[in-house]
Chains A and B, each alone.
Chain A
Amino acid sequence: MKVNGLFKPKTLDEAYHKLTEHSKNVVMAGGAWLRLSNRTVEEAIDLSVLPLSYVKDRGDVVEIGSMTTLHEIETDDTIKSLYGGILSQAVSQIMGIGLRNVVTIGGNVVARHGFSDVITPLLTMRAKLHFYKRGTISLEAFLDIRGKTTDVLEKIIIPKRKAAGYFKKVTKTALDFAIINVSVTCDEEGFSVAVGSRPSVGQLAYEAMGLLNQAKDVDEKHIDLAAFKAADLLKFSDNHRGSQAYREELTAVYVKRGLLAVKTCFNQRGGHDD
């Protein structure tokens, strides 16, 4: 990557206007991944000078500033208490502490990397993204947007709920990118299942979730069928880490394990009343 200039904004407004001024201007979060690309950046907008590194408990939601590093998230007690601590678990498995002191949650989310171990749990935690200009949108809606992000991510908002969570990253070696990652949660709205590194970016398994959330009681038969649907209906493909068929097999196994791990939460909640 070649960077022609570095802009240090004093406000989010300045950052936004600089971003939209030139198609080759980019927001720089942690900056770790930018070096791996071959592009030329006209001006990198350095968000590290803005107060965007925080975890704030707002009562009904938790807000995470976009420049909060993965290591700060990993060690934060409030984050550990959300959805069984799946976000803390997920980030603690990303490379080493050194890199986690550099990489930010905002950079990870906005880049929409297929291998992201952050996006998959956030999807099942019903996370919303707050952009400077666009306002608040769901993470799923953001992932559906194609092309370059022409807005500045300010914070990630996660609801605080009584919930259970499960996260599994399957890798060949401890520090490698995932062959797949699976996140399953259960809260007052029901089950949520997401699979990432397919190798494309994390996605919710709507059919599997629908099947479970419409059931009065969730038994092993429902779980088997939901795990099968997640593996069958999500799109998987091959890369050098794993084949499509292997990813489908892994998904069925780990979605089932995840559902079994969190189903107590659903049954305690009583299922849906007719």
Chain B
Amino acid sequence: MINITFMVNHRKHSLEVKPGEYLIETLKRLNIHSVRRGCDTASCGVCTVLVDLKPVPSCATLTARLAGKNVTTVEGIHDEAGALADYFGLEGADQCGFCNPGIALSVHALKQQSSPITEADIKQALTGHLCRCSGYVSQVKAIMAYLKDDAHV
């Protein structure tokens, strides 16, 4: 076992992890349930979290490597995710909502870019997030509208 200390949603955690333990398993141990297990092969994007504000699939990120890092799940951007969800509702951009936490985190990461965010940037940010309900068009529209009102475009 390896002792590591890292931050999850601005809260410090020190714990023992197995050398081959992936972040999704550690987050479950920390009672963070917004991070969903989907394909478990880093293909679907539902387990996306941010590590130092970069989106990564938690099913393919080893916890033992995260010493000193900042992990953000959708609980850490609660208000922002809620605001985005309103735009998703207005555009009819979701049905089951299973992919929404991962997408909200990717949008949060996208907002960190210094240059103006374009539609192409949004589409690129959504690659790797599989959604079986929306077809993505309404999601892109919702994110565009959200970012416009949030003054990032």
Are A and B interaction partners?
Answer: yes
Residue from B43, B125, B130 whose CB has the most chain A CB atoms within 10 Å: B43
Give CA–CA (A174, B106) in the complex, Å: 19
Q: Is the CB of A35 within 8 A of B128?
A: no
Residues 85-123 of chain A, each 1 if its beta carbon lies under 8 Å from chain B, else 0: 000000010011111011000000000000000000000
Across the interface, do B125 and A99 meet the contact criterion of CB distance under 8 Å?
no
Any A CB within 8 A of the CB of B57: yes
Taking Cβ atoms with an 8 Å cutoff, the residues of B that contact A are 2, 18-20, 22, 41-43, 45, 48, 51, 54-57, 59-62, 64-65, 106, 124-125, 127-130
Q: CB distance B64 to A46 under 8 Å?
A: yes
Apart from A95-B127, A97-B55, A101-B51, what 5 extra A-B contacts exist at CB < 8 Å? A31-B61, A36-B41, A96-B129, A102-B61, A175-B127
Bound CA–CA A3/B41 (angstroms): 18
Q: Which residue of A lies closest to B54 (CB)?
A: A101
Chain B residue, CB-CB nearest to A36: B41
- CB of B114 to closest CB in A, whole Å: 13
A44 at the interface (CB under 8 A from B): yes
Instruction: Report how far A4 CA is from B124 CA in the complex, Å.
Output: 37
Contacts of B22 in A (CB 8 A): 35
Among A4, A41, A71, A99, the most chain B Cβ lie within 10 Å of the Cβ of A99
Total interface residues in chain A, CB < 8 Å: 27
Tell me the nearest residue of chain B to A1, going by C-beta: B20
Q: Map CB proximity to B onto A120-150 as digits: 1 under 8 Å, 0 otherwise.
A: 0000000000000000000000000000000
Check A99 against B128 for contact (C-beta < 8 Å).
yes
A-B contact pairs, 9 of them (CB 8 A): A1-B20, A5-B19, A35-B60, A97-B125, A98-B56, A99-B60, A99-B128, A174-B127, A175-B43
A residues near B20, Cβ cutoff 8 Å: 1-3, 6, 35, 41, 44
Indicate which residue in B18, B45, B51 contacts A3 across the interface (CB closer than 8 Å): B18
A253: Cβ under 8 A from any B Cβ: no
Q: Is the CB of B42 within 8 A of A102?
A: yes
Within 8 A of B (CB), among A60-105: 71, 92, 95-99, 101-102
Is the CB–CB distance between B65 and A99 below 8 Å?
A: no
Residue of B nearest to A48 (CB): B65
Q: Is the CB of B19 within 8 A of A95?
A: no
A5 to B18, CA, bound (A): 8
Complexed CA–CA distance, A95 and B2 (Å) = 30
A28–B19 CA distance with the chains assembled, in angstroms: 11
Q: How far apart sit A196 and B54, CA to CA, in the bound complex (Å)?
A: 30
Residue among A4, A35, A41, A101 with max Cβ neighbours from chain B (10 Å): A101
Tell me if A245 counts as interface (CB < 8 A to partner B). no
Contacts of B18 in A (CB 8 A): 3
Q: Is A50 an interface residue (CB 8 A)?
A: no
- 9 A-B pairs with least C-beta separation: A96-B128, A3-B20, A6-B19, A32-B60, A3-B19, A98-B55, A96-B127, A98-B57, A99-B42
Chain A proximity of B46: nearest CB distance (Å):
10
A219 to B: closest C-beta gap in Å: 37
How far in angstroms is the closest Cβ of chain B from A104? 12
> In the bound complex, do residue B60 and residue A31 qualify as a contact, i.e. CB atoms below 8 Å apart?
yes
Give per-residue flags for A33-56: 1 if the beta carbon is below 8 A from chain B beta carbons, else 0: 001100001001010100000000
> Across the interface, do B19 and A97 meet the contact criterion of CB distance under 8 Å?
no
CA–CA, A190 and B45, complex, Å: 42
Partner of A96, one of B2, B41, B45, B64: B45
The CA of A1 and the CA of B60, in the complex, are separated in Å by 12
Closest to B58 in A: A98
Inter-subunit contact A98/B48 (CB<8 Å): yes
Which single residue of chain A is at the shortest CB-CB distance from B57? Answer: A98
Q: What's the least CB distance linking A240 to chain B, in Å?
A: 16
Known contacts being A3-B18, A175-B128, is A98 close to B62, with CB within 8 Å?
no
Contact indicator per residue, chain A 167-200, by CB within 8 Å of chain B (1) or not (0)? 0000000110000000000000000000000000
